Amino acid sequence: MKIISFDTDNTSYQMGITDDGFLLHLYYGPKTGCDMDYSLTMYDRGFSGNPYDVGNDRTFSLDVLPMEYPGYGNGDYRSPAFSMRDSSGVQGADLRYRSHRFLPGKYGIDGMPAVYAAEDEARTLEIVLADETAGVQVTLKYGIIPSRDAVTRAAVIENISDSTITVDKALSASLDSLSGNWDIIHFDGRHGMERLPQRDAVRRGKISIGSRRGTSSHQHNPFIVLASEETGEDYGSCTGLMLAYSGNFKAEAERDQYGLTRTGIGFQDEMFDYPLAPGEKLETPEAIMIHSDEGLSDLSQKYHALISEHIVRGPWQHKRRPVLINNWEATYFDFTGDKIVSIAEQAAQLGVEMIVLDDGWFGARNTENAGLGDWTVNEEKLGGPLSSVVNRIKDLGMQFGLWIEPEMVNEDSDLYREHPDWAYTVPGKKPVRGRNQLVLDFSRDEVVDAIFEQISAVIASADISYIKMDMNRSIMDVFSRTDKVQHYGKTMHAYVKGVYRFIEMLRQRFPELLIEGCSGGGGRFDAGMLYYTPQIWCSDNTDAIDRIQIQRGTSFGYPIQTIGSHVSQVPNEQTGRIVDFATRGIVAQAGTFGYELDLNLISDEEKEEVKKQIADYKKYWPLIANGSYYRLHSPEKDTETASWCFAAEDKSEALMSAVTLDNHCNNPVSYVRCRGLDPAKMYHVEPVLGADTQPLELSGQALMTVGLPVPIIPGEYKAWQWHVTSKDTDNLNNKEN
């Protein structure tokens, strides 16, 4: 068997090509240092067909062997990565190896997000598979980034026949694990409660998650982890499959009849039905695979590094983001230019660096029911042109940001009255509304261009530093007026590419602009968006206690400095919960820090706290942005206290944060165990926040093994924070000497 293999710093990837050209998956995991084809076994398995080419050998069946890019049509009945129909409706293809080559550098994907790397940091592997009878060629692409232990994958499907073929299913990556008991961890939720980890054993049958909403969605996230049963935060084998895509997707895990586990991620295949004309190509989004043998913390940290260094782009990639205040929860639609300036005046005095004017500044947008699509400044409401408000903000020494929702239209808008055909509605059918709005057909260039012209004119009219780009409903009634025959999958993919094109045009026209993604909070929080927007509003739920869960779940795949997080008022607007100002502060600090309330309405003591929070955020930003993030508590087991920490890569310091959750009479004491320290070093432990704590001198071992006791004090949702710094000259070994 001919073997194709490549390595990253800590992992190996191997494939085998059989004599008949079938591409088998041999291995992905820690380096083994030997060929892995020995692991394949051949037995005659009833009802598992045999390719014609192997003659009377009934022991060779693609129904039981591990496959690299399994396609329906060659005897493999398990869930395929690829399936198609030819022009007469014949289902299936028999993909065989044709060629492969390694290239320097990392491939890109036209008009789509993809991991980037310097020429000497990465390699590309291309493997060409084809079935000339079915009329299809599939080029598998692999991006190898050794220093990040990352392998990216995408497939390019090309119609090489002279009639139209239809792609029914096209995953970006499929991964067969020959044996073992695996769990799949996925990140699910709902509007306001996104990305809560759920861990399920992969048993016989299939677990499948995904989105049919047109966005990656609040309900599921395009990221799964395949973890061995015993894997925890600190130990165990785990492999992540993350899709850099912001539209309909599917991720699945299936355990077959002989215990092989097949995992995959890529385009959603339900209703996909993607036609390809002769010569036409379809390129799948990119899947990013990372393997760790050292548990989920290590896996997360590797994803954080990969996304921060190889997905996020632009001038804001490594810069601390301005501490902002957003007016949404303070005013909703009910504001004037003066009101915005008054919020900014108070905020500026306390050290806030930017004000963001949220929804309601344009057209007739005084309620949710009107105005979307009319991106002209409501000068009456603002008391003058946008620049007059922005100049007043600038005079306060602050920057100015603006909210937009370009993909949407209200029926009550001039845009809709003029171009009703630009919205997705099916002729003769009453459309499904979401938040009383319709979705514009962003698969059409002229629609994207027209909205871009309107919005870019507004941005150019004033000194605008930041844009919050929102998307507030799930898509339905997809009907593109330019196509005679409707193909849902094709239009939805073109829609997502239209959204990417829109943001890319914004980036090009205004290169310094900081853009924050948003979709009703975290409904489009994915690596695809992070290629265009270096941060995403994590959730519409600003309740600090709920946010602990939401941000913890988000941290499995996404870096902390991409997570939009703000201090808001109490009782909280979404839950009615009352949480200390300090607690709201340290939760928001584990993200891109800001405020979402009117600071004129808080007490003088709280105003002092704002100053301290901002000073702390600036002080600890390097540690938050560049340190390793550790989830310290498990919500299932540690119900009394939540905790997390940031540890410097050189183990010289850490910032530990804790929040008490359940409060009961006569509570046991919670201990917060740090991670990421040097066990042999002595550390100074300085309380930053919280009652009843004193400075301590402790070893890394003590801090990581026993941890710090959280004082029992009356009241719910109290916060503690400690800054741990090493005393380099005074390490334990020296002491023993």
By beta-carbon proximity to ligand GLA, the closer residue of 81 and 402 is 402
Is residue 470 within the footprint of ligand GLA (CB under 6 A)?
A: yes
By beta-carbon proximity to ligand GLA, the closer residue of 231 and 410 is 410
Q: How far is the CB of 192 from ligand GLA (least distance, A)?
A: 10
Among 403, 495, 644, 717, binds ligand GLA (CB under 6 A): 403
Number of residues that bind ligand GLA (CB under 6 A): 11
Q: How far is the CB of 539 from ligand GLA (least distance, A)?
A: 8
Active-site residue identified among 606, 609, 616, 653: 606
Sign of CA dihedral 377, 382, 388, 392: negative
Give buried/exposed letters for 651-671 (b at 16+ CB in 10 A, else e).
bbbbbbbbbbbeeeeeeeebe
Is residue 518 within the footprint of ligand GLA (CB under 6 A)?
A: yes
Q: What is the DSSP-derived secondary structure letter of residue 236?
A: B
Among 472, 533, 565, 628, binds ligand GLA (CB under 6 A): 472
Which two three-digit tokens encode residue 207?
């677990």
Burial class (CB in 10 A: 0-12, 13-18, 19+), 696: middle
Nearest Cα to Cα of residue 592 among 613, 572, 566: 566
| Catalytic residue status for 526 | yes
Is residue 69 within the footprint of ligand GLA (CB under 6 A)?
A: no
Is residue 653 within the footprint of ligand GLA (CB under 6 A)?
A: no
What is the helix (H) or strand (E) element at residue 631, kind and residue range?
strand 628-631
By beta-carbon proximity to ligand GLA, the closer residue of 274 and 593 is 593
Which two three-digit tokens encode residue 18?
């059989």
Distances (CA, A) of 511 to 98, 165, 465: 43, 41, 10
Distances (CA, A) of 292 to 10, 289, 456: 8, 10, 44
Binding segment (CB under 6 A) for ligand GLA, from list 445-453, 515-523, 632-640, 674-682: 515-523
C-alpha 234/C-alpha 628 separation (Å) is: 13
Q: Are 173 and 249 in contact (CB under 8 A)?
A: no
Instruction: Return the SS3 of 150.
Output: strand
- Binding mask 525-564 toward ligand GLA (x if CB under 6 A, else -) reads ------------x--x------------------------
Residue with the CB atom nearest ligand GLA in the bound state: 359
C-alpha 356/C-alpha 92 separation (Å) is: 52
Q: Which of residues 5-24 bind ligand GLA (CB under 6 A)?
A: none
C-alpha 404/C-alpha 516 separation (Å) is: 10
Q: How far is the CB of 334 from ligand GLA (least distance, A)?
A: 13
By beta-carbon proximity to ligand GLA, the closer residue of 425 and 539 is 539
Residues contacting residue 55 through CB under 8 Å, at least 6 positions apart: none
Among 358, 407, 573, 606, binds ligand GLA (CB under 6 A): 358
| Catalytic residue status for 504 | no
Task: Find the helix packing angle between 581-589 and 604-626, rounded to 10°.
Answer: 20
C-alpha 340/C-alpha 355 separation (Å) is: 8
Among 194, 269, 309, 359, binds ligand GLA (CB under 6 A): 359
Residue appearing with tokens 């100053």: 611
Q: How far is the CB of 520 from ligand GLA (least distance, A)?
A: 4
Active-site residue identified among 76, 526, 546, 580: 526
Nearest Cα to Cα of residue 175 among 124, 242, 130: 242
By beta-carbon proximity to ligand GLA, the closer residue of 218 and 444 is 218
Among 328, 422, 466, 620, binds ligand GLA (CB under 6 A): 328
By beta-carbon proximity to ligand GLA, the closer residue of 459 and 582 is 459
Is residue 521 within the footprint of ligand GLA (CB under 6 A)?
A: yes
Is residue 690 within the footprint of ligand GLA (CB under 6 A)?
A: no
By beta-carbon proximity to ligand GLA, the closer residue of 265 and 356 is 356
Active-site positions? 526, 606
Rule CB under 6 A: which residues touch ligand GLA? 328, 358-359, 403, 470, 472, 518, 520-521, 537, 540
